[in-house]
Amino acid sequence: MLNRTEAIVVGAGVAGAMTALELRKRGASVTLIDRWEPGHWRAASTDYNRIIRAISGRDEFYTRWVRDARERWIELQAETGQKLYYENGALILATEGHCDWEDATQDTFQKVGVPYQRFKAEDVPLHFPQFKTDDIAYALYEPEAGMVMAQRGVQAAVGLFERLGGKVARGRVTTDRSETLHLDGKKLEADLIVVATGGWMKEMFPKTISPILGLVGMSVLYTSPPDGDDSFDQSHMPCWIDHGQGSFGLSSVEGSGVKAAVVIPDEIDLTNDERLIKRSTLSRTQSYLRTRLPGLVGQRVVDSKFNGISITPDTHFIVDWHPEHENVLFAGGCSGHLYKHGPTFGDFVAGVGLREYGTADRFKIAGRRKLSPKESPSGR
């Protein structure tokens, strides 16, 4: 049946791009608007790559969503003919005395049916000799995990959206005191307006969204593998999560270098286009690498990124209607783990936007509270 909905999606990051694509697949007439080009480096969706893994503690909802999203990323890869997904697995390192989240992940994997292996600490180097694991209790390995090429994934979705008849426009969308949306000074009008502007959602909606959305910056470092050594490439090394050290990382892919971060949230100013990593963060990340990946000692830093992350109190996403503008739907609140869910998230938002079903309780604006590390899907 022909869908006659006129829709506008504001924001062409992974949330907006995937939502626009899914709305168009449902037959809606869709315009995707952003201040900059799709995949621009200011967005939280930018960077070379992102981990995709079902590891989510006791949260079965996100575990199932990731399993669905993995299949959708593979489908998008086939539809677009672009290399988007590398399945090199994910390793979660459980620190002695602080294994609640990892224990919960194992229980959830068993309930949901996620393939995994459990390694003793001394056995990890037998499988993955890149890692020094003297300080861990055990490790979980998820073989059907990996990485998505982040900027390319957004651009591939936008490209397919355009080929299906969607429109992409450049412009700055703002709000007035009543939080009514305007494009270049003119009121924005459509049957459905999806706001997927990431961190900019906070300043655009000071009454509705700002109270439940924080904004931080996080630095990641890319380190060159040793000359002639392919053991740090994605074909030989998994992505990893290291909660005991507050760190995570991805193996080198397409010449990127090994990506690593020590999670030190910093202040970020979205009006300042200079995104420079702090020297203190650089030093701490290099210190971590010396401990966990000694084979990278002395290797050159080849790149760094300072990414903006919008965070809700409970680290759940936002998919909910504006309380005063019935055609405005919010889609965001990435909380550091939305990208991997991208295609599934976009499909869900499109269904809510077209009134096929209501949103999930966890995604509503009201009733937010801070979760304990045991409850949180991120373990933090």
Give, for 262, the enclosing helix (H) or strand (E).
Answer: strand 258-262
For tokens 């990731």, name the residue: 66
pLDDT at 185: 85
Q: Is 256 exposed, middle or buried (CB count within 10 Å of its CB: 0-12, 13-18, 19+)?
A: buried
Residue 190 tokens read as 């459509």
Query: Residue 208 belongs to a domain with what CATH number?
Result: 3.50.50.60
- Which strands form 186-187's sheet, in the order they lie side by side? 173-175, 181-183, 186-187
Q: Which region among 157-166, 228-237, 297-306, 369-378 has the lowest average model confidence (pLDDT)?
A: 369-378
DSSP 62-110: HHHHHHHHHHHHHHHHHHHT---EE---EEEEEETTB-HHHHHHHHHHH
How does residue 76 score in pLDDT terms, banded at 50, 70 and 90? very high
Q: Is residue 84 in some structural domain?
A: no
Q: Which distant-in-sequence residues (6+ apart) come within 8 Å of 333 by Cβ?
A: 201, 212, 213, 310, 311, 312, 316, 317, 318
Q: Does pLDDT of 45 surpass 90?
A: no
Q: 114 by DSSP, 3-state: which? A: coil
In this predicted model, what pLDDT tens digit does every residue of 115-132 receive, in sequence order? 999 999 999 999 999 999
pLDDT at 1: 46
Q: Do 303 and 222 form a contact (C-beta atoms < 8 A)? A: yes
Q: Is residue 350 in some structural domain?
A: yes
Instruction: Give percent of the chain above pLDDT 70.
Output: 96
Q: Is residue 282 in some structural domain?
A: no
Rounded to 10 degrees, the C-alpha dihedral 195/71/246/139 comes to 160
Q: Is residue 329 in some structural domain?
A: yes
In this predicted model, what pLDDT tens digit does every residue of 228-271 receive, in sequence order? 999 999 999 999 999 888 899 999 999 999 999 888 777 776 76
Residue at 130: amino acid letter: Q
In this predicted model, what pLDDT tens digit does every residue of 263-312 receive, in sequence order? 877 777 676 666 667 777 888 889 999 999 999 999 999 998 888 888 89
Q: Do 197 and 210 form a contact (C-beta atoms < 8 A)? A: no
How does residue 136 score in pLDDT terms, banded at 50, 70 and 90? very high
For tokens 């270049």, name the residue: 184
Q: Do 219 and 230 form a contact (C-beta atoms < 8 A)? A: no
Q: Do 156 and 73 form a contact (C-beta atoms < 8 A)? A: no
Q: Is 221 exposed, middle or buried (CB count within 10 Å of its CB: 0-12, 13-18, 19+)?
A: buried
Question: 206 vs 187, 242, 266, CA distance in Å?
Answer: 18, 35, 21
Does 1 or 42 have the greater pLDDT score?
42
Q: Is residue 69 in some structural domain?
A: no
Pairing of β 29-34 and β 6-10: parallel
**Axis-axis angle for helices 150-163, 14-25 (nearest 10):** 30
What predicted TM-score, i.e. pTM, was given to this entire model?
A: 0.95
Q: Is residue 306 in some structural domain?
A: no
Q: Is residue 271 in some structural domain?
A: no
* Domain boundaries, position 326: 6-46+150-213+313-363
Q: Do 117 and 143 form a contact (C-beta atoms < 8 A)? A: yes
pLDDT at 34: 96
Distance CA 276, CA 217 (A): 10
Q: Is residue 354 in some structural domain?
A: yes
| Total structural domains within the chain | 1
